[in-house]
A and B are shown apart, each in its own frame.
Chain A
Amino acid sequence: MYYTDDSILPENMAPLIITAAPYGPQWLPGDADIPVTWDEQVQAAVDCYNAGATMLHVHVRDPATGHGSVDFDQYNYFIGRLKQAVPKMILQVGGSISFSPKTAEAKAKWLDYDTRHMLTELDPKPDCVTVAVGTTQWDVVTMFTPDDIKGTHLDNNPKVQAAWAGMWVDAGPAFYLEHLKRLRRHRIQPYFVPAHVHQLELIERLIRAGVYMGPLNLAIAGYGGGTLGRNPFDWMEMVRRVPQGSVATFWSSMRGLISLSAMAIVLGQHVRVGNEDNLWGPDKKHRTSVQQVEGAVRICKEFGRQVATAEEARAIMKIGVWYDSIEETLHNLGLPPNRKDGQAGFLVWETEGRKAVAKTAGDSHPMAYCMISPETVEA
C-alpha cells in the first residue's frame, strides 16, 4: 500500500472492520469462553456483532462430541442459523476443515482434497472462506509465553504442546488451484491468509495468471513458528507489499495481538480478535471474545477512526463482487498491468498522455508543472 500525507489521518481511513473469532477450536471450556451447544455458538456471534464486529470467523463445534465438526450437514445447519441470527454479518468460514464422508457413496466419491473442496458447496453459502496459498509450518506454541497458557489445558502439558507445535497447513498448488476455481464457480470469495511476503507473491502470480479475479481481502498471519512473528518491521513490510486496493487485517496471537491491533488501527488496516487468537487483556487477565471486540472499538474511538457498520464492511470488502478479466482485477487492486511482449521499463497503466496541473501550493517541486509555460498575465 502507498501512503500519502493524509492517509494516516483517521477521518481519511476506511472504517475499521473487526473480525470476531469466538469459537477457539484449540481450547476447552475451562480455558476460555468456549460456546458448545448450538444456541451458545449462535449467541457468540450475536454478542460479537452487537459489540461491533462485522465479520465472523466461523468454526463449527459438534455439540455432541465437543470436537471441531467434520460434518458437512452440521456446517450447513450452523451457517443457516447464523444467517438468521446475524443476517448482516460477513460470514468467513475457516478453510482448514476436511469433511468426513458419511456414506459409502461419498467415501468412494470424495478423493484426496475433495474433503476440503466441499467447503465450496456449503448451503447456505458463506460470504467467504479462508484460503491458504503455500504450505506453511504453523507452530502456534512457539510464540507462547508461560503466562499465555497459564491455567489452560496446555499448561504443564508438554505432550499436548508438542502436538500443537507440530501443526502445519497443507496448501500446495494441487490444492489451491482447484479450490479457487470451485470457489469462483460457487461465488464464494476467498479470504487469503498470507503468512509472509512470499505467499503474497504467490497470490499476486495467481492474479496475474487469471486464476483469481476478484477483490483481494486478506489477513496477514503472524502466529510465529513458520508464519510472520511480531517484528513490527516485518508487518510494515507486509503493509508495504499488499496491493493498494486490497483490504488487509492484522491477525496474530495472545497479547501480541493487542499491540498489533493498535498498530493496525492507526495504520488504517483492520483487526481480528477473539478467543481463537487471544485469551488475555494487556493486564494478563482473561478477556472474552466480546471484551476483545469492545477493546478494539475503544482504541478506534480514542484514535478518532470510525468502526464499520455491516453495510460499510461489505462495501469495503466488495463482498459479492467478481471481475471478468486479469486487467480489471489488476486495475481494481491498484497493481501495475501485466507486461506485454517486448515492453520495457517499469509498468504503469496507460493514460491519455496529458500532464496534470500540479497543486499551486506545496513544499515539493512540481517539475512537470514548471515545464508548462505560465499564461501571460496582463498588468
Chain B
Amino acid sequence: MSGLVTHFEIYGDEPAKLAAFYRELFGWRIEPAAGVDYWRIHLGSPANGTAAGGLAHPPLPDARGWMQYVKVESLDDSLAVAQRLGGRVVREKTAVPKTAWYAVIADPQGNLFAIWQPDRTAFPAPVPD
C-alpha cells in the first residue's frame, strides 16, 4: 500500500557510537551488516525484533536527524508531483540493488524525507572506471 512509512534511517559521522547510544536508550538490537557501512536497527524485543531501519554515514553533506521513507507506487510520478507542489529533489532517483528505487525530497518548508518504490529489478547503470 502506498503512502505508508516503510522504514527510517539515522545518520552520523560515527555510526558505531550512535548505535551504542540508541541501544542503551531504547534497548534496540542494532547490528552491523557484513561488509557494508550500515547498521540494521531491529525494533521490538532484542531477540525477535524486525529490521525497521538503519544507521549510516550521512548520504548528503548536511543530512541530520531521522529520515523517514514513504512507499510510493511510482517514484518517477511522485517526484514529478512533489516538484509541482513546491518540493525540491535533494537526491535523484537511486537504486538499492534488486530491492527498490529511492529519492530524497525537501518539502516546501525544507523538511527532508525519502520516497521508496520496491522493485526487484532496480539497479544502477554501470559507469566506466
Contact = CB atoms under 8 A, between A and B. Distances in A.
Interface of A: 25-30, 36, 38, 62-68, 71, 73-74, 77-78, 81, 96-98, 102, 153, 160, 163-164, 166-167
Contact of B36 (A62, A81, A167): A62
Contacts of A66: 95-98, 123-124
A25 B125 contact: no
Contact of B35 (A67, A78, A167): A78
A71 B129 CA distance: 14
B97 A96 contact: no
B128 interface: yes
A166 B127 CA distance: 11
Given A63-B97, A77-B34, 7 more contacts: A25-B129, A28-B126, A29-B98, A64-B97, A65-B96, A65-B124, A74-B35
Interface string B104-129: 00000000000000000101111111
B114 to A, nearest CB: 15
Nearest to B96: A64
Interface of B: 33-38, 57, 95-98, 121, 123-129
A108 to B, nearest CB: 16
A64 B38 contact: yes
B36 A63 contact: yes
Contacts, number: 64
B124 A63 contact: no
A68 B97 CA distance: 12
A9 to B, nearest CB: 42
Contacts of B35: 38, 63, 74, 77-78, 81
Contact of B127 (A29, A102, A163): A163
A153 B96 contact: no
23 contacts: A25-B126, A25-B129, A29-B121, A30-B123, A62-B36, A63-B35, A65-B96, A65-B124, A66-B95, A66-B98, A66-B124, A67-B124, A71-B37, A73-B37, A74-B35, A77-B34, A77-B35, A96-B129, A153-B125, A153-B126, A160-B125, A164-B128, A167-B128
